[in-house]
Amino acid sequence: MKAFKHFNLNPERPVVFLMGGSQGSARLNRTMQAILEQPDLNDIQLLWQTGSGQYNYYSGFDSETVRIVSFINQMADAYAMADLVISRAGALTLAEITACGKPSILVPLPGAAGGHQMKNAQSLVAHSAAKMIPEKDLTPERLRNMILNLLENKSELQRLSQNAKSLGKPDAVEIIVNHILEIAES
């Protein structure tokens, strides 16, 4: 409930959390703008992290159901209230998504070194823990339809959530530290 108060959203309505990393994603932002310019997103609320460089351009979309923020310091709150996450597929973001067990639509950054974002996203998709739209295939219609279809299919959202959670490693730091200590002691 704290998260909904923090972002001033209604806990009775679904929340989509869109983020393109700390700097935002011009492509994700443009796509969401086009979606919001279409009528009827049902009862969906949107928490939209634009990135600081793009915030002023998109801040006019802020409304009762759309919260525009440049950066989120309270990521735990954002994840806590999100019914669906839309994001790039960087390793830290996917670690957060899986640790929180959140269903997601991933749009990997095509220019990422070694194609790592595509590989990250494909790994979650292969475990039925996320959906993916390669950036070359990203259109407002495709993303809008995927959002609406997922939010209307509670069993699919639950399946994605459970599978994402099963991949999460919330105790990874502790495991790594213990291994280092074991090696140091031997």
- Summarize pLDDT for 52-100 with one digit per residue, the tens: 999 999 999 999 999 999 999 999 999 999 999 999 999 999 999 999 9
Q: Choose between 39 and 48: higher pLDDT.
A: 48
- For 82-119, b/e burial (b = at least 16 CB within 10 A) is bbbbbbbbbeebbbbbbbbbbbbbbbbbeebeeeebbe
- pLDDT tier, 30 (very low <50, low <70, confident <90, very high otherwise): very high
Which domains can be identified in the chain, with CATH numbers? 2-185 (3.40.50.2000)
- One DSSP character per residue, 24-74 reads --HHHHHHHHHHHTSS--TT-EEEEE--TTTHHHHGGG--SSEEEES--S-
pLDDT for the residue 144 = 96
Residue type, 48: W
Mean pLDDT of all residues in 34-46: 86
Mean pLDDT of all residues in 115-143: 96
pLDDT for the residue 173 = 65
d(CA 51, CA 156): 30
| Mean pLDDT lowest among 8-12, 17-21, 38-42, 156-160 | 38-42
CA triple 53-56-60, angle to 5 deg: 145
CA triple 172-2-90, angle to 5 deg: 35
Mean pLDDT of all residues in 101-111: 95
